[in-house]
C-alpha cells in the first residue's frame, strides 16, 4: 500500500532545489547575454500559443454563453412587462372608446334638450329588452333603471335625440317598462312634415311602422318625415317618428297608408330620455286596444280627415 504521507523537507532537499534554481538563473542570464533569450521566448510562445488560444476561445465562448443566458432572461422579463403594459393599454383604450361613445350620445341628448327648453328630460339606461308573448298580445318593450323613486310615472314619453321611443306603461320602485312605438298595440297621432297630412302611426311586424288613416286623394311622397302631431295630448308635438319608405293606396279604400321606417335604431338603444314634465291626458292602462281598420264600406264617418283620433293604446 502506497504511503501518501508527505515527508518533511531536509536541508539536503532545500540545497538541491536552490542549486537547480541557481543554475536555471545562470542559464537564463547567459542566454540573455548571448542574445538567445528571444529565440527561447519565441519557441516557448509557439509551444504554448495553441493552448493559450484554445483557453482564451473557450473562456470567451463561456462568457458569451453566460451573457446570452443573462440577456435572454432579461428579455423574457421585459417581454412579460411589455405584454402586461400592452394589456393595460388595450383595456384603457377600450374604456376611453366607451367613454367617448357615451359622451357623443350625451352631447346629442344635450343638443336635443337645447332645442326643446320647455321639456324636462331625465336620462335613463336600458337594463333589459323584452320581445315576447303576454296573454294574447305580442309585446315589444324595454326596461329602464328608473322608477317611482326617481319621479317616473305611467304615461311619460320616452325619447332619444333621434326621435320617439315609446311611453312608460308600467312602473315599480326602481324600474319602469317602456312600450315601444314598434309594438303592434301602440299607436301615435302623427303628421307628415311636408304635406301636413294627419294619420295614426302604429307598430308593424319587422320593426317598421305603418301610418294609417291618411286622407284618400291627398298627395304626399316617399321620403317625407313623420312627426308626432300632439293630437290627443298623449305625446308632445313635433317629435320625429320616422320616414316614409312606401305608399299604399287603393281606390276602394277610404284612407291611404304609408310604410314608415323609424328614425330611432331600436336594435342599438342603450340610453334614452324620459320627459318628466309632460302629463298625458289619458292613462296608458285605461286606453282601449287599437281596433283594426274598418273596411271601405264600413269606415266610420265621424273620423275627420284632418284630425284622426285613433287611440294610442298601452299594454
Task: Give 163: exposed, middle or buried? Use CB within 10 Å, 0-12, 13-18, 19+.
Answer: buried
pLDDT of residue 307: 40
3-state secondary structure of 72: helix
Percent of the chain with pLDDT over 70: 72
296 DSSP 8-state letter = G
Percent of the chain with pLDDT over 90: 31
Cell of 295: 273596411
94-132 tens-digit pLDDT: 888 877 777 777 787 788 778 888 888 888 888 887 655
Domain 121-298 has CATH 3.90.930.60: no
- Other beta carbons less than 10 A from residue 149's beta carbon: 11
**Is the model's pLDDT at 260 over the cut of 80?**
yes
3-state secondary structure of 305: coil
Least confident of 15-29, 113-127, 198-212, 284-298: 284-298
Which residues does 149 contact at the CB level (< 8 Å), separation at least 6? Answer: 173, 174
3-state secondary structure of 267: helix
Q: Where are the alpha helices (DSSP H) in the chain?
A: 11-33, 37-115
3-state secondary structure of 8: coil
**Is the model's pLDDT at 67 over the cut of 60?**
yes
pLDDT of residue 244: 95
Rounded distance between C-alpha atoms, residue 309 and residue 213, angstroms: 9
**Is the model's pLDDT at 56 over the cut of 70?**
no
Cell of 231: 293630437
77-93 tens-digit pLDDT: 888 888 888 888 888 88
Amino acid at each position: 500500500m502506497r504511503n501518501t504521507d508527505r515527508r518533511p523537507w531536509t536541508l539536503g532537499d532545500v540545497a538541491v532545489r536552490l542549486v537547480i534554481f541557481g543554475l536555471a538563473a545562470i542559464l537564463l542570464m547567459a542566454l540573455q547575454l548571448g542574445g538567445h533569450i528571444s529565440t527561447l521566448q519565441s519557441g516557448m510562445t509557439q509551444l504554448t500559443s495553441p493552448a493559450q488560444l484554445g483557453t482564451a476561445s473557450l473562456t470567451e465562448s463561456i462568457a458569451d454563453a453566460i451573457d446570452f443566458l443573462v440577456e435572454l432572461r432579461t428579455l423574457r422579463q421585459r417581454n412579460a412587462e411589455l405584454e402586461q403594459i400592452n394589456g393595460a393599454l388595450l383595456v384603457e383604450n377600450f374604456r376611453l372608446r366607451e367613454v367617448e361613445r357615451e359622451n357623443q350620445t350625451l352631447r346629442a341628448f344635450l343638443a336635443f334638450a337645447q332645442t326643446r327648453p320647455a321639456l324636462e328630460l331625465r336620462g335613463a339606461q336600458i337594463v333589459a329588452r323584452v320581445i315576447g308573448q303576454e296573454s294574447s298580445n305580442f309585446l315589444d318593450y324595454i326596461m329602464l333603471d328608473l322608477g317611482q323613486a326617481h319621479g317616473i310615472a305611467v304615461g311619460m314619453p320616452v325619447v332619444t335625440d333621434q326621435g320617439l321611443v315609446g311611453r312608460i306603461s308600467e312602473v315599480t320602485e326602481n324600474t319602469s317598462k317602456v312600450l315601444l312605438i314598434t309594438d303592434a298595440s301602440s299607436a301615435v297621432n302623427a303628421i307628415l312634415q311636408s304635406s301636413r297630412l294627419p294619420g295614426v302611426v302604429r307598430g308593424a311586424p319587422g320593426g317598421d311602422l305603418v301610418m294609417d288613416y291618411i286622407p284618400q286623394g291627398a298627395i304626399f311622397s316617399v321620403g317625407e318625415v313623420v312627426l308626432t302631431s300632439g293630437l290627443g295630448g298623449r305625446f308632445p308635438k313635433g317629435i320625429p317618428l320616422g320616414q316614409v319608405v312606401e305608399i299604399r293606396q287603393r281606390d276602394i279604400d277610404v284612407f291611404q297608408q304609408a310604410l314608415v321606417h323609424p328614425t330611432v335604431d331600436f336594435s342599438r338603444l342603450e340610453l334614452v330620455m324620459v320627459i318628466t314634465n309632460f302629463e298625458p291626458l289619458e292613462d296608458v292602462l285605461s286606453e282601449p286596444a287599437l281596433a283594426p281598420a274598418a273596411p271601405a264600406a264600413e269606415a266610420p264617418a265621424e273620423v275627420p280627415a284632418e284630425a284622426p283620433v285613433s287611440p294610442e293604446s298601452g299594454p
